[in-house]
Amino acid sequence: MTRPPRDKTVRQNQLIKDLEKEMENNMKSVMAALRLGMVYRNAERLEDAEIAFKYGMELDPLSFEIRLNLSTLYFQMGRLDDGIKESEAALKIRPDSTEAMANIGAALIQLQRWKDAAEYFNKALEIKPEMITALANLVTVNVELDDLESAIAAGEKAVGLAPKFGVAHNNLAVAYYYHGDYDLALDHLEKAKKLGYKIAPQFEEMVSAKIGSERDGG
């Protein structure tokens, strides 16, 4: 008889116990602290994860992995300023980290610091021109900066590289809407919807209303 798989929570708790024991047996291991912090974070034990990552940082202040994971944790906790600070520290250790750049850019979007966000996304794209998430986010940033041509260019590149990335289609739809290309906006909205992206109903209504008005000669 095949034994049924154990509950995910049970396995997760056992992994935590094993890593806690590993940490106790080797208090100087940065990797043990990193692994424990990551498992705590996955288990939504965010304060414990912070303690583990900070302990690892005490052991090795120049650990890129510790800094990056701590920054990701802070973003998850909604502590954007702390997340940006740790991401910038990670960038000092590894200046070519496009992941850290994109993480900072995404946080700056939430803070509505559009120009600063654009700077980080563009830096990431200089290193990794086909970074889909950076391209998709750059669409949003450029719309806010009223640079619609750049927004559309970034969006078209994103959907060209990743046709099944719903976020990119949605963001491109927004850019086309404000550019006055309502049919293209609707086309990308429909693609985003088919890909499972949750469309904002009000925006979809706005696009449909504009198309209806054009057809009525309004």
pLDDT (tens digit per residue) in 184-214: 999 999 999 999 999 999 999 999 998 888 7
C-alpha span between 9 and 181 (Å, rounded)? 49
Which domains does the chain carry? 11-95 (1.25.40.10), 114-218 (1.25.40.10)
- Residue 111, SS3 per DSSP: coil
Q: Is the whole model's pTM more than 0.95, yes or no? A: no
Whole-number pLDDT of residue 119: 98
Per-residue pLDDT at 3 exceeds 90: no
Mean pLDDT across 127-152: 98
DSSP 6: P
The length of the chain is 218
Mean pLDDT across 114-119: 98
Whole-number pLDDT of residue 1: 43
C-alpha span between 87 and 23 (Å, rounded)? 25
